[in-house]
Amino acid sequence: MMGNRWFCSSPNREPYCPGDEGCAGHIKAAPTSHIVGMDVSIGPLRRQRCAWCGHLLVDEDLSRMSWPLNPDGTDPGPPGLWPIGAVLAVDGPVQYVVDEDDWPESEIYPGEKRLPDGCCARLDPYVTQ
């Protein structure tokens, strides 16, 4: 299930804002989610973007990465990427795949799921240009 974070926009906030209990400038922000697109690898560089809005999801330089060898000493290759077509929640530095079972029910088509709130495909197209 997608979590929520709190952001304080109060100009008089303390170094640590107490949370949703007392601060007038507190707003609740749900994570944004994106539809994972295909990955592109050129030499040691590898990128993966949102298929809908183009948001950068993965930007890696494999020449600057290391990973452990298999027990038999063979190279397992670089770490995997996100599955193409999955809905990926981006909550600050945390990214995770949103399981289709966690998608909300459609109000228009009973028994069907709809994209989660905050998904770039549900936003106004002007926002995602």
In the chain, where are the structural domains located?
A: 1-30, 33-122
pLDDT in tens, 54-74: 999 999 999 999 889 999 999
pLDDT in tens, 81-100: 999 999 999 988 889 999 98
Q: Report the C-alpha gap between 124 and 129 in whole angstroms.
A: 9
Cβ-proximal residues to 67 (8 Å cutoff; 6+ apart), any chain: 76, 78, 79
CA-nearest of 54, 51, 129, 118 to 90 is 118
